[in-house]
Amino acid sequence: MITILHGNLIHAPSFGTLETIPNGYLVLEDGIVQGIYPTLPEQFAACPVTDYGGGLIMPSFADLHLHAPQYPMLGMGMDLPLLDWLDTYTFRTEARFEDTDYARRVYRQLAEDLITSGTTRVAMFSSRHTDATLILMEELEKAGVTGYVGKVNMDRSAGLSQEKTEESISETLRWLENCHFDLVKPILTPRFTPSCTNELMAALGKLAAERDLPVQSHLSENAGEIALVGQLHPDCPQYWESYEKYGLWKDRTLMAHCVHSDSREQAAMAKAGVWAVHCAASNVNLCSGTAPVRELVEHGVHVALGSDIAGGDQLAMNKVIVMSIRASKIKQIETGAPFLTVPEAYYLGSTAGHTYFGGGAGFQSGHKLHAIVIDDSSLPEPTRELTLDERFERAIYLMDKRHIQAVYSEGVRRV
Amino acid sequence: MITILHGNLIHAPSFGTLETIPNGYLVLEDGIVQGIYPTLPEQFAACPVTDYGGGLIMPSFADLHLHAPQYPMLGMGMDLPLLDWLDTYTFRTEARFEDTDYARRVYRQLAEDLITSGTTRVAMFSSRHTDATLILMEELEKAGVTGYVGKVNMDRSAGLSQEKTEESISETLRWLENCHFDLVKPILTPRFTPSCTNELMAALGKLAAERDLPVQSHLSENAGEIALVGQLHPDCPQYWESYEKYGLWKDRTLMAHCVHSDSREQAAMAKAGVWAVHCAASNVNLCSGTAPVRELVEHGVHVALGSDIAGGDQLAMNKVIVMSIRASKIKQIETGAPFLTVPEAYYLGSTAGHTYFGGGAGFQSGHKLHAIVIDDSSLPEPTRELTLDERFERAIYLMDKRHIQAVYSEGVRRV
């Protein structure tokens, strides 16, 4: 079945490219992009059109690093040092997800918040709880948020949230057996090297290889953490090698942060096909620093963006995009590396993440539509008619969910 | 007439102090704060109570630096270098305010946006246009936004927006003659040293002294600007001395930015009673740097916050407060100076600004009420009951105007 969307089409098919089609037509066949056109081809003249008038139709957002059970602590504890923040808020909050009723309520609210904010693909950390993780996956699927979710593994230095090693492994197996979702798939999630014993890391690496499962974790977020990994793994010259040793450093492994990744670590990422997930708000909130995003891109590392709630305080990915621009401007002041332009940062927070999951580059034909429609008519009255490039930039900076008129995920309108 | 507000009272009467009164009572007499109480004193038992239940009642925000005619270009041109940004957007946009009908529409929208965002006091730049400036003042007054507005003076290097010297002076006099507003008063506004001839600076300094008018301008925003001032005023060892030379550097002069103010310039500010207005978002957006806010405070300089739209992209002052915290965290990484805590930054964005205009410290008795009431019940469900300190922090980070239930300005409810 053919359906057609009419409006101003804007997409970023590659890093640094922004293409606009004023008053264009996006043709879908069973939710799959068939093509984008400045005028409607004759053959589709009789097909139904959803007319978004002057609205902006753009690929939706993809959030490749966030902690679902930290949603209840969003915007709190931001004045605390990292370890106090973990003890006072993070571990206690995550422990609460033992309660499946509570998990259901919070995860339903999170899923709703994500889809109405235009985020249609995620790579997400759950807590250690198998049942709550399955509930999270179910709620995301119901809301139309697709991607990967991981039950967290942590059998060391994780306070209230800690597991025993055997329990961590057996619960991971139980979780995998119960992952029967169409749009939300499992990803192995050792929290990070300091919170996993060697035995657990080895078991997860084996599982990743045997079942061809993707992996997500954290890398080189701050100096204390890097030093600790050095103590725990004296045989590893660098942090990333603690993952490589156990088979967790592989194609499509997602590594959040990479704030302090030097050129050797970056080269190892590029070589293995490991992705860096840049979380600018979190890195500033926790005084971790500003990640070398431009350098990572130039080294051939795949980069995507993450909200990293609740180290990050903003779930809306347009705000995350803006924060990544701001962080890159700080980086430019420090090092001279050119800042991320709005189209570049939007690419990282949208198309880059979509392609991680096999999605299309912008509105590439042959891929299920993931898109948002923005009504910017309530933004301040400009002095003259704006170009689509200007309206795009302004929307990224100023919009919130009130301006999101429609959201399409996997070819289906969900908002 | 006595009226009473009931709810959770939160205020920051001094830098770094946060006081909370759960389920408290704020007693007003003709809009003037009479006192705050944990339980209602017997004498007021018969007075009418406005019950905000579980809401947070806090002093409203004060925005001490923003450019009203740049509101239409909010969130645009952020990828451009400063000079291109000025030429492509700023001067062209400001020039449009020759049209008084356009000015009326935009300034009405701005005034509405400010008051519904909880900003009740401002120190604002208009454009060079006398009539549009009077319209701006009228629209602010109607909406309940109080404070100072300045017709901008610029007779040099200001592109489309430039005035002739005599015209700049005569129009300033015409503007002052027509400022008949109760709550919105004039402030002299030489744009900044590079855009004012010596003759104009001297005339404005004379006017400031003769009529005891306050002054606002820009100081030490970026390196190129500082170098230019050095060339224009070779007799001035530092930027600030170009203002001092013409009588513009005086008690209560507002100086936006001060990103590169060193200890000598800071000492000159403290000595003269000049205020620094910190504009974190703008300073990052334009790659200017991060201002030494902690150092300014420790040098005894009065500091307040400004949204600096449209160099800044956020009008809502809670977002400006959060950006000032983020900028201070970057500064901490660079220099080790402790970052601004949430209560400290809130003080700068609220009470500090109010006291500039003679307002009270927090809910100080004897001052007209400037307050907002926040309904945070739609924020994510927490894992346990939150303290008022936690709810305060979360509101500053997460709220937008949808959470602002009421706004009081000059003792009157305006939202």
Looking at beta carbons, which residues of chain B come within 8 Å of A382?
72-73
User: If pLDDT is split at 50, 70 and 90, which confidence band does B105 have?
Assistant: very high
Average pLDDT over residues B343-354: 98
What is residue B163's three-state secondary structure? coil
Answer with the residue of higher pLDDT: B315 or B81: B315
Closest residue to B72, CB basis, from A109, A322, A383: A383
> Which residues in chain A are closer than 8 Å to B18, comparing Cβ atoms?
none
Segment A88-104 mean pLDDT = 94
The CA distance from B256 to the nearest CA of chain A, in Å, is 20
Mean pLDDT, rounded, for A35-62: 97
State chain B's mean pLDDT as an integer: 97
Spatial CA neighbour of B79 closest among A282, A347, A19, A345: A345
- Please check the confidence at residue A159 and state whether its pLDDT lies above 90: no
Closest residue in B to A95 (Cα) is: B383
What pLDDT is stored for residue B220 in this prediction? Answer: 97
* CA dist., res. B135 & res. B100, Å (int): 8
Q: Is the ipTM of this complex over 0.85?
A: yes
In the predicted model, what is the mean pLDDT of residues B350-373?
98
Alpha-carbon distance of B75 to B61, in angstroms, equals 21
For an interface test with A, the pick among B74, B222, B383, B389 (most A C-beta atoms closer than 10 Å) comes out as B383
Q: Which of A329, A398, A400 sits opposite B74 (nearest CB)?
A: A398
pLDDT tens digits along B380-389: 999 999 999 9
Q: Which of A285, A313, A339 faces B329 most closely, judged by CB atoms?
A: A285
- Tokens found for residue B57: 């009642």
The average pLDDT across A213-225 equals 96
Mean pLDDT of A253-264: 98
Q: Do A109 and B339 touch (CB under 8 A)?
A: no
A158, pLDDT greater than 80: no
E-assigned strands of A156-196?
Answer: 184-186, 189-190
Interface contact B78-A109, CB threshold 8 A: no
What is the C-alpha separation between A285 and B328, in angstroms, rounded? 10
Cβ–Cβ gap A380/B110 under 8 Å: yes
Burial of residue B374, with CB atoms counted within 10 A of its CB: 0-12 exposed, 13-18 middle, 19 or more buried:
buried
Q: How would residue A67 be classed by pLDDT, with cut points 50, 70 and 90?
A: very high
pLDDT digits (tens, 9 = 90+) for B142-199: 999 999 999 999 999 877 778 999 999 999 999 999 999 999 999 999 999 999 999 9
* Contact map slice: B 295-324 vs A, CB within 8 A: 313, 322
A101, A330, A393: best to mutate for the B interface, most B CBs within 10 A: A330
* Confidence bin at A86 (pLDDT 50/70/90): confident
A157, pLDDT greater than 90: no
* pLDDT tens for each residue of A100-139: 999 999 999 999 999 999 999 999 999 999 999 999 999 9
Report the candidate in B25, B27, B20, B21 with the shortest Cα–Cα distance to residue B6: B25
Residue B374 has pLDDT above 80, yes or no: yes
Contact B149, B184 (CB under 8 A): yes
Inform me whether the pLDDT recorded for B368 exceeds 80.
yes
Q: Do B73 and A396 touch (CB under 8 A)?
A: no
Give the sign of the dihedral formed by CA B57, CA B63, CA B67, CA B70: negative
Q: Which of A66, A76, A393 has the most B C-beta neighbours within 10 Å, making it the best mutation to test the interface with B?
A: A76
User: pLDDT tens across B251-304, in order?
Assistant: 999 999 999 999 999 999 999 999 999 999 999 999 999 999 999 999 999 999
pTM over 0.90: yes
pLDDT band at A278 (very low <50, low <70, confident <90, very high): very high
User: With contacts defined as CB-CB under 8 Å, which chain B residues touch A326?
Assistant: 281, 284-285, 326
Judge contact between A381 and B106, C-beta under 8 A.
Answer: yes
